[in-house]
Amino acid sequence: MAQPHGIPAPHPAQVTALLATLMDRVPLWECGAMGADNQFRLARGAIENAGGDPGLVAAGVGMALWGWRDNPLDTRLAALLRAIMEDAPQAFDPALRELVARLHDRVRVPADFGALDTALNAHGGPAAAPAQTMLDVVLPRLADPAHGLFWLARGVEWCVRHENSVAPPTDEAAAPVLPVADDTTLEILLRAALSVPLALPETVAHRLRAEWAVRRLDPAEALRRLDELTEQDAANASASPFAPWYALRRAELLIRLDRSVRPDQLIRPGHASDAAALLLPLWREAPYHPNLTLALHELLHPLPAPPADMAPPAILLYTWNKRDLAAQTLRSLRAAGFRGAPVFALDNGSQDGTEDMFRAMAADWGSPFTVVRLPVNVGAPAARNWLLSLPDVQQRDHAVFLDDDVLLDPDWLDGLLAVAHARPGWGAIGCAVTDHTPPHALQCADFFALPPDMGTRSFADLDEHWHIHGNSAGSSDTLLTAYTRPCLSVSGCCHMVSMASVQQVGAFDVRFTPSQFDDLERDIRCTLAGLPVWYAGTVRVRHMQHSSLRQATSRARSAHIFGNRIKLEHLHPANKAGQAREASAALARQDLLRKAAALAALPAPGAG
């Protein structure tokens, strides 16, 4: 696949040196390049800090192109790529230059950019607002010569993320099914954008249709749609400017297709090989992309399955007045499988019949199921500690905490145990957490910490040292987050702690009652004690509610969160924050360099 610009891809022997330099000069490069914000920041940072190094310039240009393909109607990426092309027009294909210029000129941010949010929020937010509300705002603005494509981008995003058409589960243990494959609203938008005087380029319309198909259709149908769209592009041009994007999506759909047939395996060798064959040419062009490096290495070198005789962990769940959600979580656990692990369910002072539900579950469970009833709600940290203090739990090597509102896949526990077995000396292991409804946006993946000068302040009168960075949060659930690596922290939604680490660094700090940051704070203690936290990104857990921070809608709840933020700042001051931040980043850098070196050592195409 030819480079879209005149700057050659780095030689394999130069890959690790290039990555090391990028990580030295561009903050958070090792954390990942998911989402337009991060792609723009990394691309600009590489170019501005290149110091005349052509390799860094090429990486910055390549990241800008990658981000633009991911987000062709993003205002900042279009502006950055346009500026790059104006500085070196001879280095780019003329057709690509013209396409970027056409989009840039029409994707500027309008003064009334909040009009759509206002209209959607009046109907309960984007997930609840009807299509007509969105169309009433967007359609009249598509002909705007400077801002029309900005409005189109907002309308397409609504179509991709809208949840109204999601059907409820037909089985108590099942996740919601995919929505009806109806792209009528998207077609109304695209046909209007294709018919205005400054029309949307057809190849971009195909790319936007493909985005919807990948996120809203079952994998087999989405693959068929991608084939149709690329064939239409090929009939009108020699090569699509989005060819790398299409290749990545095909690889992702192959893995999803395999899971729809065999949900007990995240990656089967046959489709892993097919997906890797699609990703390897992309990586040879962009070996500086951290997520691409990690995901491709995971496909080629997955961790071995845990031993069949590996002792299962204790499975711990606590809840307060969420009887029905907790029951659905337990049914999901039973359907997914749990290696016969003992289950311990704590009713944290509920008044909605949770205890009766737990006891009915225990009577019918078929393996050890212990019910603990507390007379009052003692909060999340104390509930976790209560469960960890049980003698039968303390006899285990590991314990897995599950939130009371998650849906599990059949591979979930083996995925966690594979990391535990392959990476001894760990403190906690977590996984990717997504929305439970399509398109399954990521709520949490691997967390790192920002340098203080990059964080957003929450308090005017407090020196803040902790700014947590979730590189993938809010992005689409893609293959590029399906990797295993060390990090600073993982989501508390589904995470495993080693009982040895409980002995070494302690349990959860009850000062964070009722909740918020207690799991993060314990992960920080593990990192400071040299017990790495691991992200098992090949495991996906669906979360039936939004992340707890996104639920902070009341003044009282917000006050609890900000109060716990203050506690976190004072528990781990500047020197400890810097130590944990650098220790976790150093482990991630070493991991990324090791995996890049392994990929660079692969035989070149055509080599004997």
d(CA 123, CA 163): 13
pLDDT at 434: 93
Whose structure tokens read 């299962």? Answer: 312
The helix/strand/coil state of 437 is coil
For residue 231, the model assigns a pLDDT of: 85
17 C-beta neighbours (distance < 10 Å), count? 12
Q: Could you please report the per-residue DSSP string of 5-47?
A: BSSPPPPGGGHHHHHHHHHHHSTTGGG---SHHHHHHHHHHHH
CB 321 within 8 A of CB 352: yes
Phi, psi torsion values for 211, nearest 5 degrees: -60, -45
Strand partners, 344: 316, 370
Concatenate the DSSP letters of all residues of 85-146 into one string: HHH-GGGB-HHHHHHHHHHHHH-PPPTTTTHHHHHHHTTTSTTTS-HHHHHHHHGGGTT-TT
What residues contact residue 88 under an 8 Å CB cut-off, 6+ apart?
5, 6
Task: Enter the pTM of the model.
Answer: 0.92
DSSP code, position 1: -
Beta carbons of 528 and 583 less than 8 angstroms apart: yes
Q: What is the pLDDT of residues 204-219, one digit of tens each?
A: 999 999 999 999 999 9
Q: What is the pLDDT of residue 508?
A: 95
Could you please state the CATH topology (level 3) that the domain comprising 314-593 is classified under: Spore Coat Polysaccharide Biosynthesis Protein SpsA; Chain A (3.90.550)
Domains of the chain: which residue ranges? 314-593
Closest by alpha carbon to 485, among 409, 602, 585?
Answer: 585
Q: What 3-state DSSP class applies to 158?
A: helix
Asked if 477 and 255 touch (Cβ cutoff 8 Å), the reply is no
Res 174 pLDDT > 60:
no
Residue 545's pLDDT band (boundaries 50, 70, 90)?
A: confident
At 560-583, the pLDDT tens digits run 666 677 677 778 888 999 999 999
Look up residue 373 and give its amino acid. Answer: R
d(CA 487, CA 447): 6
* Cα atoms in the Cβ-side hemisphere of radius 13 Å centred on 581: 20
Q: Give the tens place of pLDDT for each residue, 357-410.
A: 999 999 999 999 999 999 999 999 999 999 999 999 999 999 999 999 999 999
Say which range, 20-24, 71-75, 166-170, 543-547, has the weakest mean pLDDT. 166-170
- Residue 407's identity, in one-letter code, is L
